[in-house]
Amino acid sequence: MKVGVITFPGSLDDGDAARAVALAGGDAVRLWHADADLRGVDAVVLPGGFSYGDYLRCGAIARFAPVMEPLVDAAKGGLPVLGICNGFQVLCESHLLPGALIRNDHRKFVCRDQGLRIESASTVWTSAYDVGQEIVAPLKNGEGGYVADDATLDALEAEGRVVARYLGDNPNGSYRAIAGVANDRGNVVGLMPHPEHAVEDLTGPSTDGLGFFTSVLKGLVGV
């Protein structure tokens, strides 16, 4: 199964995402922001980082990269897409996911091992987890505060599209402690924490993050 990992200028965790895909048993295919097509991949990961420096708004400029055109179409057609951190921000800016991510309420960059509760196992990226399962993964962001209007938030909750929530004290001021959300079909998921940094005991706080990558691969085999 081929999982594409897009590199924008300023992407940082693209290598980690590719490593995670490989550890989960998939083939990582590197995609470039200027690519005109997705080179036939079966799923795509938008990695963390500071695309184009994120000086304007996180993800605001990356959203207009050439590769985003085929990606947005494919995503609307059901292609599994996972946006991690900066990737989540890009997905929101592209309106593939509702809401937006703003400056952490404490106004500092935060890097810590974060407890999470999986709230939905019915997305293609979380099928390997159980609802209510608690996991630990690194969280590292300066603009990770998830915001949306109440109507949107209520809809997300009602439709089971809140994918993960922060445990313990809210690390960035996200509304309703939301750490990740999905689109209505459950093929597009955005996540602030970094599962790709929780795939090896040696380098991560846990290996809890692998599930996101095994989930999609399992789903793809099913296809």
List, by residue number, the catalytic residues: 85, 194, 196
| Interface region with another protein, contact rule CB under 8 A, candidates 93-101, 157-165, 182-190, 213-221 | 93-101
Contacts of 193 (CB under 8 A, 6+ apart): 84, 85, 114, 116, 137, 138, 139, 164, 179, 180
**Contact status: 122 vs another protein (CB under 8 A):** no
Asked if 67 and 90 count as a contact pair (C-beta separation under 8 A), the reply is no
| Angstrom distance (rounded) from CA 161 to CA 3 | 23
Size of the site for another protein (CB under 8 A): 50
State the angle between helix axes of 14-23 and 210-222 in degrees (0 to 180), rounded to the nearest 10: 60
Q: Exactly one of 2, 160, 173, 220 binds another protein (CB under 8 A); which one?
A: 173
- The binding track of 10-49 with respect to another protein, each residue x by CB under 8 A or -, is x-xx-xx--x----------------------------xx
Would you count residue 109 as binding another protein (CB under 8 A)? yes
Q: Which is nearer to another protein, 122 or 203 (CB)?
A: 203
CA gap 120, 97 in Å, rounded? 16
- 208 part of the interface to another protein, by CB under 8 A: no
Q: Is there binding between residue 87 and another protein (CB under 8 A)?
A: no
For residue 90, give Cα distances in angstroms to 23, 39, 117, 159, 169: 25, 20, 23, 22, 26
The residues binding another protein (CB under 8 A) are 9-10, 12-13, 15-16, 19, 48-50, 52-57, 60-61, 64, 92-93, 98-100, 102-112, 138, 140, 142, 145, 147-149, 173, 194, 196-197, 200, 202-204
